[in-house]
């Protein structure tokens, strides 16, 4: 790549992020020490909730490191050029250093790759292909420069894991920004999606109900996507801790309901994906979680 001094720009971007998200770090004791995920759980946020003194304690979120339980994400691609089509390549390395080649089916795929810019924009949900040697590849193109977080979400021998690393897109100026303010409605490609969340508190079970309409009419024929009525990813502002959520069975024909437990106070960016008329749509929301 011929872009001059891309890492200087990346350094400026990261410094800006630290300034923007300094308030999140100042929460201090509200955040538990971050750890990587121990496992997954169908139907709720990836948690192992336990009752203590009448409250629910959520498990630590995932996606905070490249390694967990002896497995490591090895990104062969760490830098891309803005606007150019490239190939994102990576492996999941086992405890002995060899590539993992046997993966379980997880929500109809063996690998889910979530890529999002560190300010919460440019969300992608990709499904790479693996070769016989265990190398995963997927074509990508990013039109906005910046630092991106790539989350590899998979299951091996019945244990769900999420590992993450950074990919840098150079080729222009970029600016650190906070998550957008909370809004109860998002529009995408002619669809109107509303969110009913109520008061959200850290460590407590919370209902998230999304309602889908188009041209003011309820969309009551949502198609399954990845084996479910909808798919939801939540990222915590600041460190981008990864919370992977799947829907409950209840809810109206045009509703997608989730039960989630946010591990700490703070702001989270939600990415709802649903399928209708043969196309997958993505609606985005910000929610604020109190102590």
Q: Are 114 and 125 within 8 A, CB to CB?
A: yes
Structure tokens, 273: 């994906």
Residue 32 has pLDDT above 90, yes or no: no
Q: Are 113 and 127 within 8 A, CB to CB?
A: yes
Residues 221 and 274 in one domain: yes
Beta-bridge partners for 154: 161
pLDDT of residue 164: 97
Q: Give the predicted TM-score (pTM) of the model.
A: 0.79
- 178 occurs within a structural domain: no
- Using alpha carbons, list the distances in angstroms from residue 6 to 115, 144, 147, 171, 218: 20, 14, 11, 7, 47
Residues 283 and 140 in one domain: no
User: What is the distance between the alpha carbons of residues 273 and 283, in angstroms, rounded to a whole number?
Assistant: 7
DSSP output for 14-60 = HHHHHHHTHHHHTTGGGSPPP-------TTBSS---EEETTEEEPPP
User: What is the distance between the alpha carbons of residues 59 and 39, in angstroms, rounded to a whole number?
Assistant: 10
Beta-bridge partners for 113: 126, 152
pLDDT of residue 187: 97
Structure tokens, 57: 């304690």
Residues 17 and 143 in one domain: yes
The percent of the chain in helix, strand and coil, each rounded to the nearest 5, is: 10, 45, 45
Around Cβ 171, how many Cβ atoms within 10 Å?
19
Residue 202 has pLDDT above 70, yes or no: yes
The enclosing domain of 189 has a CATH number of: 2.60.40.10
- 244 occurs within a structural domain: yes
Residue 181 has pLDDT above 70, yes or no: yes
User: What is the distance between the alpha carbons of residues 46 and 246, in angstroms, rounded to a whole number?
Assistant: 9
User: What is the distance between the alpha carbons of residues 30 and 171, in angstroms, rounded to a whole number?
Assistant: 37
Report the domain count for the chain.
2
Distance between the two ends of the chain, CA-based, in angstroms?
A: 46
- Using alpha carbons, list the distances in angstroms from residue 113 to 141, 149, 153, 206: 14, 10, 6, 26
The more confident residue out of 287 and 37 is 287
Residues 189 and 166 in one domain: no
Residues 143 and 213 in one domain: no
- 1 occurs within a structural domain: no
Residue 12 has pLDDT above 60, yes or no: no
Q: Nearest to residue 201, comparing CAs of 246, 154, 266? A: 266
Residues 90 and 150 in one domain: yes
DSSP state of 270: E
The more confident residue out of 1 and 38 is 1
Residues 13 and 68 in one domain: yes
Q: How confident is the model at residue 242 (pLDDT cuts 50, 70, 90)?
A: very high
Q: What percent of the chain has a predicted confidence (pLDDT) above 90? A: 67
Read off the pLDDT of each residue in 25-34 and give the average, rounded to a whole number.
36
Domain containing residue 163: 6-30+62-170
Least confident of 69-83, 94-108, 163-177: 163-177
User: What is the distance between the alpha carbons of residues 230 and 135, in angstroms, rounded to a whole number?
Assistant: 29
Cα dihedral sign, 32-34-38-39: positive
- 74 occurs within a structural domain: yes
**Residue 165 C-beta-side C-alpha neighbours within 13 Å:** 17
User: What is the distance between the alpha carbons of residues 121 and 12, in angstroms, rounded to a whole number?
Assistant: 18
- At 166, which helix (H) or strand (E)? strand 159-170
């Amino acid at each position: 790549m011929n872009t001059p001094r891309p890492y200087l720009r990346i350094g400026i971007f990261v410094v800006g992020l630290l300034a923007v998200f300094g308030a999140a770090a100042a929460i201090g004791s509200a955040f538990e020490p971050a750890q990587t995920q121990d496992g997954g759980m169908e139907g709720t946020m990836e948690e192992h909730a336990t009752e203590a003194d009448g409250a629910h304690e959520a498990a630590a979120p995932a996606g905070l490191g490249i390694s967990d339980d002896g497995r490591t994400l090895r990104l062969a691609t760490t830098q891309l050029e803005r606007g150019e089509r490239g190939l994102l390549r990576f492996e999941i390395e086992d405890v002995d250093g060899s590539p993992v080649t046997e993966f379980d089916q997880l929500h109809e795929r063996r690998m889910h790759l979530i890529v999002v810019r560190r300010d919460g924009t440019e969300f992608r949900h990709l499904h790479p292909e693996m070769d016989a040697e265990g190398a995963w590849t997927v074509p990508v193109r990013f039109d906005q420069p910046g630092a991106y977080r790539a989350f590899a979400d998979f299951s091996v021998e019945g244990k769900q894991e999420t590992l993450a690393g950074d990919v840098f897109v150079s080729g222009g100026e970029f600016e650190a920004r906070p998550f957008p303010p909370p809004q109860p409605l998002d529009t995408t490609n002619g669809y109107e999606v509303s969110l009913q969340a109520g008061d959200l508190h850290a460590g407590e079970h919370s209902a998230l109900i999304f309602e889908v309409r188009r041209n003011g009419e309820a969309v009551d024929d949502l198609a399954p996507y990845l084996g479910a009525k909808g798919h939801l990813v939540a990222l915590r502002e600041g460190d981008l801790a990864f919370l992977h959520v799947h829907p409950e069975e209840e809810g109206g024909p045009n509703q997608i309901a989730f039960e989630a437990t946010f591990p700490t106070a703070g702001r989270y960016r939600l990415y709802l994906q649903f399928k209708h008329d043969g196309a997958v749509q993505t609606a985005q929301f910000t929610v604020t979680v109190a102590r």
